[in-house]
Amino acid sequence: MNYFLGLFVSGLTRGSIYALLALGYTMVYGIIELINFAHGEIYMIGAFTALILASVLSIAGLDAISILVIASLVAMIYSAAYGFTMEKIAYKPVRNSQRLSALISAIGMSLFLQNYVRLAQTSNFLPFPTLIPRFGFLQQLTFQVTSAQFVIFVTTTVVMILLTLLIKFTRIGKSMRAASQDKTMAMLLGVNVNRVIALTFIIGSATAALGGVLISSFTGQINFYIGFMAGIKAFVAAVLGGIGSIPGAVLGSFVLGWTESFGAGYISSDYEDVFAFAILVLILIFKPSGLLGRPENKKV
Amino acid sequence: MVLDVRGLTMDFGGLRAVDHVDLQVNEGEIVALIGPNGAGKTTFFNCVTGMYVPTAGTVTIARPGTDARQITRMRPHLITAQGLARTFQNIRLFSEMTVLENVMIGRDCRLSAGILGAIVRNRKTVAEEKQVVLDSYAMLEMVGIGRWANETAKNLPYGAQRRLEIARALATEPFLLLLDEPAAGMNPQETRDLVALIRRLRTDHHLSIFLIEHDMSLVMTLSERIYVMDYGKLIAVGDPGEVRRDPSVIKAYLGEDVSA
Amino acid sequence: MSSQATTQPQPRRYLAYARRSLLVSIWFAILTFPIIVIRANTITGTITWRWHNIGWIVGGTFVGSWIWRYFLERKRAGAAATMGPLRQRLAASRAIVAQAVRRPAVARGGIAALLLLVVAFPFVGGMYQTNIMTTALLYVVLGLGLNIIIGLGGMLHIGYIAFYALGAYSYALLNFHFGLNFWLALPVGALVGGLFSLAIGIPVLRLRGDYLAIVTLAFAEITRLVLENWSSLTFGTAGIRNIPRPAIAGIRLTLPQTTTFVYFIMILMVALTIFVVNRLENSRIGRQFVAMKEDFIACQAMGVNIARTKLAALGLGGMWAGLAGVVFAARTTFINPASFTVWESIIVLCTVVLGGMGSIPGVITGALVLILVPEYLRAFAQFRMLLFGAVLVTMMVFRPGGLIQKRRRAYTISAQEKQVAGEIGDPGIQG
Ligand SMILES: Nc1ncnc2c1ncn2[C@@H]1O[C@H](COP(=O)(O)OP(=O)(O)OP(=O)(O)O)[C@@H](O)[C@H]1O
Ligand SMILES: [Mg+2]
């Protein structure tokens, strides 16, 4: 039973992380119908920025909590800036070209950012400082939950709620929804679509950076390549849930997280990624629009 | 009867775009479907040609001299092979291909060459390819745009693009041609030429024609029977004179307040 | 804003450029600061400050932004409007070349020269050069194969390398267990590549376009992971050693001789690929591919079976990867899953995109440039992937058609045929 609970918690943690990333995918896809392959790289850059900042700050002698807060905030701001710049360079100019062009541009961006970090920093794994403090009350549970897992889960929940509120109730959220339904119409109604798209990238990237900082604290090490797999997985989660749908992204993330951790725990840990991809293919075969996605309806 | 539609219904989520429509086209007839914007005309076309799977209803077709066949829920390419061809309201040409190649794609469903034939270029394949070029060119000549055969489709003037759509549809060897707003965006001269072309297709090539059009003068001069749709429902059928006088049609077009 | 800039007098326009570029470079200086300037090594607990890097960034982005803006504006204004004297002369000389090439004597001479070059290469260049060229040729075949799927069929496939892997493993394993020789392995590899490509095509047929990208990627990763972990069959990460090189029965070849031999096998394979792809392109199926890529709804409405056409593109594309995989295994004599990562797929994608999607000379150029340039410019080798990324983005922004863009074929119809066509109209709809 404890083994099961352990796997359950580890699946939940993974799911939370995937969710933080999947949100960005789903939001961007909802508005410009682009698979932003470089989203995982934004997450990686967030983690690196935090690592660099934490190193500098710890030499300056700050305490762990302040470092965690400052590093996360700065990482989020920086990643948001990267996301914003990336959209301006690689996506905005191809917005009116073929779908294929935008996708290839995104792959190029991903390749570029990875190697940018590899060359400027290192290709080796770096240990990530332990920034999350230990919580005493977690030790009293019968199954193992680490402080990092706890923080990850709580943060994800909070971010999710904030995002939902933002999209449901604010002006920005309304513009986003309008732009995702019909860009031309939204434009005619006075929505600044360019700004909405930029904002979507900013919000998505900041969320991804938060994910980057948290997961790195949890795994304890990073390198330039961590964004790629995480990005793919998060994208799989977003597609599983039905791309474009925010609750779908969350649901998909948890389904994926549990599939992986139970698959690894009960069948074979070598094939963890295989389970992730297999469930994607399976769900797409039986429900091509994902768990919560609306069926596609191509206008002729 | 070449086309017989019964109780056709199409829902998009909560929206009923086509609502129990019955419609027939007889052999050699020119029939028009009219109605205000958003009435569901294009959706009706899409259901008939298999682009959308209708929520309910049946579509039956019969090539003159053969038995009737149900084509409801058939996939679009099979319906085209049965002898129904269409054009699109918002022109959908293969814009990077040449004009001739566009028509050659129309011929495609009448060809038999396979992949192996393409590679070894046996005599049959070569002969077929040669024939396709000639047939397609003939089609271009018929609609009057032969001189642009090797031009890229997107570079054609607007009226010629509409004609190319017709040529491409004709290349599939249909017995019933469905035209979705063929005169949209044309100037009066082009429209007159179009009317002549459509008449010629009917008399010389024994086609039945079913068209959607907003240009009332074209509809009134060309069609023998007119169906009128509003909010997905059929509200009137008849010859041009009857439809013109029908109060419900006037109401649909001019709005409630003028109904008296 | 941009259209204004083009109508401004030159000096003012350059000033505006300079101001914007300065702002851009300041933005980038701030943006890249933590990653470019500070290097944190958490293993040794040291921090290095590399202030000089700021200079590179500011200078680089200043010039880069200027060029970027200049080309972006030119693209917006349309190529015709900005046809400067240089470009006019370029176009004129290109026309002369095109005309010359069409003359049979020149064309024959050109082909003969090319043949001579190809045949003489291994004897002049030596083993090292020949090896590099063979690698490039492998990528030419891969590029042309992937081009069937992406360039002609318009499906973004980013798991192409999986079929290459399957081809390589088919040969290695069948040889290991059953002693299958290289020549027999070639068709087997092609078959395996084609069939697997079809197999992953079937589930994604119903999916919308961009899902194909993720599913193919997933498939490639699954393939690699299975190769890595199913050790009892594939020997896992250790890979398979001592795969026999291609041989001719009864003749013993020395290593340099084999290298040359493999080079010529690849030359033949490239020739075969070009031949087949060219024929496919100019045929019914090739037309279907392009029409499907252009507008699959209209294509379907014109009676083309989209499902069949997609599968044909996938199957025909996968075959070449399988075939190339067999040669790869035979050439290196050692394979392991590490040779078949996603990035390998992306490199092949780059060759197709850089050269020109859908254009055979384009893809060949793309593959040769992308594989040979990093080989010869060793200084660039570590920047290779960075540059690939930049190339993909830049190409998509400025020249999505690639270096050598596909031109549609023109058909000639004789005057006599024209007259016949004009008289009978269409034979089809008369009956
Ligand atoms: N794929 C679709 N998904 C959802 N709603 C649709 C779809 N296609 C059409 N509709 C809706 O169905 C209704 C009928 O549209 P349709 O295009 O058939 O009208 P129409 O009579 O052709 O109009 P027009 O004269 O402007 O071409 C409209 O309200 C339209 O928004
Ligand atoms: Mg319509």
Q: In b/e form, how buried is each residue of C189-209, taking b as 16+ CB within 10 angstroms?
A: bbbbbbebbbebbebbeebee
Q: What is the DSSP letter of B152?
A: B
Q: List the one residue out of C312, C292, C277 whose CA is nearest residue C194.
A: C312
The structure tokens 């026309």 sit at C95
Q: pLDDT for B216-240, tens place per residue?
A: 888 889 999 999 999 988 988 989 8
For residue C87, what pLDDT is reported? Answer: 67
C284 contacts B129 by C-beta, under 8 angstroms: yes
For residue C430, what pLDDT is reported? Answer: 32
Q: Which of residues 37-56 of B touch C (CB under 8 A)?
A: 49, 51
pLDDT tops 60 at residue C79:
no
In this structure, what token pair is assigned to residue B12? 């998009």
A105 contacts C397 by C-beta, under 8 angstroms: yes
| Phi, psi dihedral angles at B70 (to 5 degrees) | -80, 130
For residue C27, what pLDDT is reported? Answer: 93
Domain ranges in chain A are 2-286
Confidence of residue A296 (pLDDT cuts 50, 70, 90): low
For residue B217, what pLDDT is reported? Answer: 87
Q: What is the 3-state secondary structure (H, E, C) of chain C?
A: CHHHHHHCCHHHHHHHHHHHHHHHHHHHHHHHHHHHHEEEECCCCEEEECCHHHHHHHHHHHHHHHHHHHHHHHHHHCCHHHCCHHHHHHHHHHHHHHHHHHCHHHHHHHHHHHHHHHHHHHHHHHHHHHHHHHHHHHHHHHHHHHHHHHHHCCCCCCCCHHHHHHHHHHHHHHHHHHCCCHHHHHHHHHHHHHHHHHHHHHHHCCCCHHHHHHHHHHHHHHHHHHHHHCHHHHCHHHCECCCCCCCCCCCCCCHHHHHHHHHHHHHHHHHHHHHHHHHHHCCHHHHHHHHHHHCHHHHHHCCCCHHHHHHHHHHHHHHHHHHHHHHHHHHHCCECHHHHCHHHHHHHHHHHHHHCCCCHHHHHHHHHHHHHHHHHCHHHHHHHHHHHHHHHHHHHHHCCCCCCCCCCCCCCCCHHHHHHHHHHCCCHHHC
Collapse the DSSP code of A187 into the 3-class scheme (helix H, G, I; strand E, B; otherwise coil) and give the result. helix
Ligand 1 centroid–CA B231 distance in Å is: 10
A15 contacts A155 by C-beta, under 8 angstroms: no
Please report, to the nearest 10 degrees, the dihedral formed by the alpha carbons of residues B221, B227, B228, B232 taken in order: -150
Q: List the one residue out of C8, C348, C388, C36 whose CA is nearest residue C164.
A: C348
Confidence of residue A113 (pLDDT cuts 50, 70, 90): very high
For ligand 1, residues with CB inside 6 Å are: A 297, 299; B 12, 15, 17, 35, 37-43, 89
Collapse the DSSP code of B64 into the 3-class scheme (helix H, G, I; strand E, B; otherwise coil) and give the result. coil
- On the CB side of C106, CA atoms within 13 Å amount to 8
pLDDT tops 60 at residue C423:
no
Taking residue C93's Cβ as centre, other Cβ atoms within 10 Å add up to: 10
In this structure, what token pair is assigned to residue B245? 């006088």
For residue C3, what pLDDT is reported? Answer: 45
> Distance from B22 to chain C by nearest Cα, in Å?
23
Which amino acid would we find at residue B99?
V
Q: Which of residues 355-394 of C touch A (CB under 8 A)?
A: 357, 382-383, 385-386, 388-394
Q: In angstroms, rounded to a whole number, what is the distance separating the alpha carbons of residues C311 and C12?
A: 56
Domain made up of B3-83+174-259: CATH architecture: 3-Layer(aba) Sandwich (3.40)
Q: In angstroms, rounded to a whole number, what is the distance separating the alpha carbons of residues B82 and C74?
A: 49
Domain ranges in chain B are 3-83+174-259, 93-157
Q: Are residues A51 and C222, on separate chains, in Cβ contact within 8 Å?
A: no
Q: Which of the other chains make 3 or more beta carbon contacts under 8 angstroms with chain C?
A: A, B
For residue A232, what pLDDT is reported? Answer: 86
Choose the weakest-confidence range: B195-199, C188-192, C233-237, C340-344.
Answer: C233-237
Domain ranges in chain C are 2-79, 127-398
Mean pLDDT, range B246-259, rounded to an integer = 69
| Phi, psi dihedral angles at A59 (to 5 degrees) | -70, -35
Tell me which residue in C284, C299, C430 faces B111 most closely, judged by beta carbons. C284
Whole-Å CA distances, B240 to A239, B40, B231, C293: 52, 20, 21, 42
pLDDT tops 80 at residue C329:
yes
Residue of B nearest to A296 (CA): B12
Q: Are residues A232 and C214, on separate chains, in Cβ contact within 8 Å?
A: yes
Q: List the one residue out of C34, C1, C276, C45 whose CA is nearest residue C141.
A: C276
Q: Provide the phi-psi class of C83: left if phi over 0, else alpha when psi is between -120 and 50, else beta.
A: beta
Higher pLDDT, A298 or B252: B252
B88 touches chain A (CB under 8 A): yes
- Return the H-helix or E-strand segment holding A32: helix A2-32
A78 touches chain C (CB under 8 A): yes
- On the CB side of A152, CA atoms within 13 Å amount to 29
The fold adopted by the segment(s) A2-286 is ABC transporter involved in vitamin B12 uptake, BtuC (1.10.3470)
Alpha helix stretches (DSSP H) within chain B: 41-48, 76-82, 99-107, 115-120, 123-143, 158-170, 188-205, 216-222, 240-245, 247-254
For residue B106, what pLDDT is reported? Answer: 92
Q: In angstroms, rounded to a whole number, what is the distance separating the alpha carbons of residues A202 and A103?
A: 19
- C337: which residues sit within 8 A by CB, 6+ positions away? C165, C224, C227, C228, C234, C236, C237, C239
Task: Specify burial of residue C103 (Cβ count, 10 A radius: 0-12, 13-18, 19+).
Answer: exposed
Q: pLDDT for C42-56, tens place per residue?
A: 888 888 899 988 898
pTM comes to 0.87
Residue of A nearest to C71 (CA): A93
Ligand at minimal distance from the CA of B214 is 1
pLDDT tops 60 at residue A28:
yes
Q: Please count the residue pairs, one from chain A and one from chain C, whose beta carbons lie less than 8 angstroms apart.
A: 176
| Phi, psi dihedral angles at A86 (to 5 degrees) | -60, -40
For residue B13, what pLDDT is reported? Answer: 80
Mean pLDDT, range B38-48, rounded to an integer = 92
Q: List the one residue out of A85, A97, A89, A83 whose CA is nearest residue A36.
A: A83
Ligand 1 centroid–CA C298 distance in Å is: 18
Whose Cα sits closest to atom 12 in ligand 1? B17
Please report, to the nearest 10 degrees, the dihedral formed by the alpha carbons of residues C410, C416, C418, C420 taken in order: -140
Over pLDDT 70: what percentage of chain A? 96
- B203: which residues sit within 8 A by CB, 6+ positions away? none
Confidence of residue C251 (pLDDT cuts 50, 70, 90): confident
B121 touches chain C (CB under 8 A): yes
pLDDT tops 60 at residue C80:
no
Interface probe for C, chosen from A42, A111, A232, A273 (most Cβ of C below 10 Å), is: A111
Q: pLDDT for B152-178, tens place per residue?
A: 998 998 889 999 999 999 999 999 999
Largest CA distance in chain A: 63
> Distance from C30 to chain A by nearest Cα, in Å?
9
Q: pLDDT for A156-166, tens place per residue?
A: 899 989 988 98
pLDDT tops 80 at residue A137:
no
Given strand B176-180, what is the order of strands in its sheet?
B84-86, B176-180, B208-212, B30-34, B225-230, B233-238
Ligand at minimal distance from the CA of B17 is 1
C427 contacts B143 by C-beta, under 8 angstroms: no
> Distance from B156 to chain A by nearest Cα, in Å?
20
Task: Specify burial of residue A231 (Cβ count, 10 A radius: 0-12, 13-18, 19+).
Answer: buried
- Write down the CATH number for the domain with range C127-398: 1.10.3470
Q: In b/e form, how buried is each residue of C70-88, taking b as 16+ CB within 10 angstroms?
A: eeebeeeeeeeeeeeeeee
Q: pLDDT for A177-196, tens place per residue?
A: 888 888 888 888 888 889 99
Collapse the DSSP code of A33 into the 3-class scheme (helix H, G, I; strand E, B; otherwise coil) and give the result. coil
Choose the weakest-confidence range: A171-185, C163-177, C185-199.
Answer: A171-185
Q: In ligand 1, which atom is closest to the CA atom of B232?
A: 14
Taking residue B206's Cβ as centre, other Cβ atoms within 10 Å add up to: 14
Q: In ligand 1, which atom is closest to the CA atom of B35?
A: 21
> Distance from A298 to chain B by nearest Cα, in Å?
9
Q: In angstroms, rounded to a whole number, what is the distance separating the alpha carbons of residues C307 and C319?
A: 18
For residue A274, what pLDDT is reported? Answer: 86
Can you give the C-alpha Rg of chain B in angstroms?
Answer: 19
Q: Are residues B149 and C302, on separate chains, in Cβ contact within 8 Å?
A: no
